[in-house]
């Protein structure tokens, strides 16, 4: 939530960009315009003037173990 308590910052399932949604209703507004990497974490300063975020990619490996003893 923004310090003004009137908007909510969030990521969608694509996790690439941040969006701002007014709590009173209306259309969401795209805050960032990245084309790659995920937004992993983000925070807004107390006065609402600075946005800090970390971006990266997820690396996942899956293994199937059979007949494990």
pLDDT in tens, 28-66: 999 999 999 999 999 998 888 899 999 998 777 788 888
Residue 61: inside a domain: no
Q: Find the mean pLDDT for residues 3-22.
A: 89
Tell me how many domains the chain contains.
1
Residue 26: inside a domain: yes
Strands (E), the chain: 7-11, 18-22, 29-30, 38-44, 51-56
In angstroms, what is the C-alpha Rg of the chain? Answer: 17
Tell me the β-bridge partners of 64: none
Residue 65: inside a domain: no
Query: What range defines the domain where residue 21 resides?
Result: 7-56
Residue 52: inside a domain: yes
Residue 64: inside a domain: no
Q: What is the pTM of this model?
A: 0.74
- Report residue 34 CA to chain centroid gap: 11
Q: Hey, how many other C-beta atoms are within 10 angstroms of the C-beta on 64?
A: 4
pLDDT in tens, 13-37: 989 999 999 999 999 999 999 999 9
Residue 66: inside a domain: no
Tokens, residue 19: 């969006």
* pLDDT for residue 30: 96
């Amino acid at each position: 939530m923004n310090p003004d308590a009137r908007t909510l910052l969030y990521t969608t399932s694509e996790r690439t960009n941040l969006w701002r949604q007014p709590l009173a209703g209306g259309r969401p507004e795209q805050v960032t315009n990245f084309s790659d990497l995920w937004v992993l974490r983000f925070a807004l300063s107390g006065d609402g003037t600075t946005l800090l975020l970390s971006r990266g990619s997820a690396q996942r490996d899956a293994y199937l173990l059979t007949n494990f003893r």
